[in-house]
Amino acid sequence: MPNLPTLIATHGRSLLVAASGSDIAINAIAQGFGAVPPVYMASIQIGHAPAELMEISLPLKYPTVNIFCEKLENSLKEKFRTFSGTGRLILEIRHSQDQIQNVQQALENYVSAICQILDGNRGDWGSGLFYAGGYDVQFGSVKRGGKSFVQTARVALTVDISL
- Taking only the tens place, the pLDDT of each residue in 53-100 is 877 777 778 999 999 999 999 999 898 999 999 999 999 999 999 989
Residue 2 confidence (pLDDT):
58
Can you give the C-alpha Rg of the chain in angstroms?
16
For 64-76, the pLDDT digits (tens) are 999 999 999 999 9
Q: What are the residue ranges in the chain where pLDDT is below 50?
A: none
Q: Where are the beta strands (DSSP E) in 17-122?
A: 19-20, 23-24, 44-46, 64-73, 84-97
The pLDDT value given to residue 57: 77
Closest C-alpha among 45, 51, 26, 11 to residue 109: 26
- How many domains is the chain partitioned into structurally? 1
Could you tell me the CATH number of the domain that includes residue 135? 3.30.70.1700
Distances, alpha carbon 111 to alpha carbons 66, 68, 107, in Å: 13, 16, 6
- Structural domain boundaries enclosing 140: 4-162
Q: What pLDDT is attached to residue 19?
A: 82
**pLDDT at residue number 21:** 67
